[in-house]
């Protein structure tokens, strides 16, 4: 079985995604960047060392503390701007726009977050926790079917409220252990939700874990197309899906679901297309 979110895709149809972040030169592994150097204007360094090589800029301890505080404020501003812009535009949003809203240069953004997936993880960890909370709350509902239904409605509502989270729910972000840990914990609870709903006879027995992921992908597409003109259309779509999920004695047989490997591949590919991961 695919772990619904520990590998997760989305807005699959007709979305132009940004290329991987490769334009801005990055420090080599092992290069030392002092607080003064990080916040100094581009091209400014300290005295030259042996052979004329530039040495990291140096500053007194008091000034270093102030600059470290400035660096932390910059990081917080970048994360807050990314959270808002990802919610508005999705994870393919231009990083230059995030830097502009944060009030920092694009080079500062890259120094703090050398890869897009690092910024995504920092900006969306709280939203990933909301997904986990929704699963936990659904398990607390006494009626197994109502618990399952409440969970499906809630995560689709979260998708409607936040395009960044909608993207995250349908793609894999293996580079960040914290986010993936939250997803894994939530997925284990979702498996239990599905088991209980089947056991009580309300959820059709041929419902597969992959079906919930397919619903998230499809709902993301509905939201992408209808949000500007019919922002509540997703509610009807989700109600239709839940009606199809419910057990009926005269229900028709379904085609086989996609395999776990197929869905995992789709989620990883979507992550790469959004700049979160190495090219395949």
Nearest to 116 by CA among 92, 87, 97, 99: 92
Flag whether pLDDT at 45 surpasses 70. Answer: no
Same domain membership, residue 183 and residue 98? no
Percent of the chain with pLDDT over 90: 53
The H-or-E segment that residue 68 falls in is: helix 61-89
For the segment 123-138, the average pLDDT, to the nearest whole number, is: 91
Nearest to 165 by CA among 95, 211, 220: 220
Q: What is the pLDDT of residue 170?
A: 83
Output 226 or 280, whichever has higher pLDDT: 226
Output 217 or 67, whichever has higher pLDDT: 217
Contacts of 229 (CB under 8 A, 6+ apart): none
pTM of the model: 0.73
Contacts of 252 (CB under 8 A, 6+ apart): none
Q: What is the pLDDT of residue 194?
A: 96
Same domain membership, residue 181 and residue 142? yes
Q: Residue 54, SS3?
A: strand
Q: Residue 11, SS3?
A: coil
The DSSP letter of residue 104 is: S
Q: What is the pLDDT of residue 200?
A: 96
Contacts of 151 (CB under 8 A, 6+ apart): 134, 135, 137, 138, 190, 193
Among 114, 132, 151, the domain boundary falls at: 114
Same domain membership, residue 151 and residue 64? no
Tell me the pLDDT tens digit for each residue of 139-189.
999 999 999 999 999 999 999 999 999 988 888 776 567 777 887 888 889
Same domain membership, residue 266 and residue 144? yes
The DSSP letter of residue 277 is: S
Same domain membership, residue 140 and residue 65? no
Same domain membership, residue 133 and residue 183? yes
Same domain membership, residue 85 and residue 215? no
Q: 10: pLDDT confidence band, cut at 50, 70 and 90?
A: very low
Same domain membership, residue 92 and residue 137? no
Flag whether pLDDT at 1 surpasses 80. Answer: no
Same domain membership, residue 80 and residue 186? no
Lowest mean pLDDT, pick from 61-65, 227-231, 234-238:
61-65
Q: 17: pLDDT confidence band, cut at 50, 70 and 90?
A: very low
Q: What is the pLDDT of residue 184?
A: 80
Q: What is the pLDDT of residue 168?
A: 87
* Residue with token string 């995504």: 120
Q: What is the CATH number of the domain that holds 93?
A: 1.10.10
Structurally, how many domains does the chain consist of?
2
Tell me the pLDDT tens digit for each residue of 96-126.
999 999 999 999 999 999 999 899 999 998 8
Output 126 or 36, whichever has higher pLDDT: 126
Count CA atoms closer than 13 A to 25's CA, side-chain side.
5
End-to-end CA distance of the chain: 23
Flag whether pLDDT at 248 surpasses 90. Answer: yes
Q: What is the pLDDT of residue 247?
A: 96
Note whether residue 94 is domain-resident: yes
Domain range for residue 266?
A: 124-249+262-275
């Amino acid at each position: 079985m695919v772990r619904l979110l520990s590998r997760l895709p989305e807005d699959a149809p007709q979305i132009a995604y940004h290329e991987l972040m490769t334009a801005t030169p990055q420090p080599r592994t092992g290069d030392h960047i002092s607080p003064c150097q990080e916040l100094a204007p581009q091209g400014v360094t300290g005295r030259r060392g042996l052979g004329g090589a530039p040495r990291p800029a140096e500053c007194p301890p008091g000034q270093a503390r102030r600059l470290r505080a400035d660096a932390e404020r910059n990081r917080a501003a970048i994360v807050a701007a990314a959270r808002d812009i990802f919610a508005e535009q999705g994870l393919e949003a231009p990083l230059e726009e995030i830097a502009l809203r944060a009030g920092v240069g694009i080079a500062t953004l890259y120094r703090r977050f050398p890869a897009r997936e690092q910024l995504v993880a920092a900006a969306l960890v709280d939203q990933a926790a909301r997904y986990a909370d929704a699963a936990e709350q659904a398990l607390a509902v006494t009626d197994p079917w109502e618990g399952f239904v409440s969970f499906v409605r809630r995560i689709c509502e979260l998708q409607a409220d936040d395009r960044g989270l909608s993207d995250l729910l349908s793609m894999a972000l293996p580079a960040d252990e914290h986010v993936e840990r939250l997803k894994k914990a939530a997925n284990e609870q979702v498996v239990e939700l599905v088991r209980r709903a089947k056991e009580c006879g309300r959820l059709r027995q041929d419902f597969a874990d992959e079906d919930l992921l397919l619903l998230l992908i499809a709902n993301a597409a509905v939201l992408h197309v209808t949000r500007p003109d019919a922002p509540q259309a997703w509610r009807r779509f989700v109600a239709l899906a839940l009606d199809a999920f419910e057990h009926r004695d005269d229900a028709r047989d379904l085609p086989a679901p996609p395999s776990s490997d197929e869905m995992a591949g789709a989620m990883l590919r979507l992550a790469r297309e959004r700049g979160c991961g190495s090219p395949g």
